[in-house]
Amino acid sequence: MKSQKLLPALALVSLFVGAALFAAEEKKDAPVSKPAGCCAKAEADGKVCEHGCCAEAAKAGNNCEKCHGSGKIEPKHEHKK
């Protein structure tokens, strides 16, 4: 008996949370600098992405849009020793 009432309520809550997440996502969409997934993965492994399209984009200082990156590559502030 209880679960029959609980289920629709849960569905409603998850819908609500989903909408809230979607709204939050929409808010911060302005000038995004998002590395392509392949590039981020390669960088995490300490490598450079091997995709030609990414290399081309990187030369121009951009994240590869073909691989779902966007915007400019953010300058890294590395400490030189």
Interface contacts to Zn ion, rule CB under 5 A: 36, 38-39, 49, 51, 53-54, 64, 66-67
Residues 59 and 7: their CA atoms lie apart, in Å, by 53
Comparison of 34 and 51: residue with beta carbon closer to Zn ion: 51
Residues 13 and 18: their CA atoms lie apart, in Å, by 8
Comparison of 53 and 73: residue with beta carbon closer to Zn ion: 53
* Alpha carbon 39 to chain centroid, angstroms: 12
Residues 9 and 13: their CA atoms lie apart, in Å, by 6
Comparison of 10 and 48: residue with beta carbon closer to Zn ion: 48
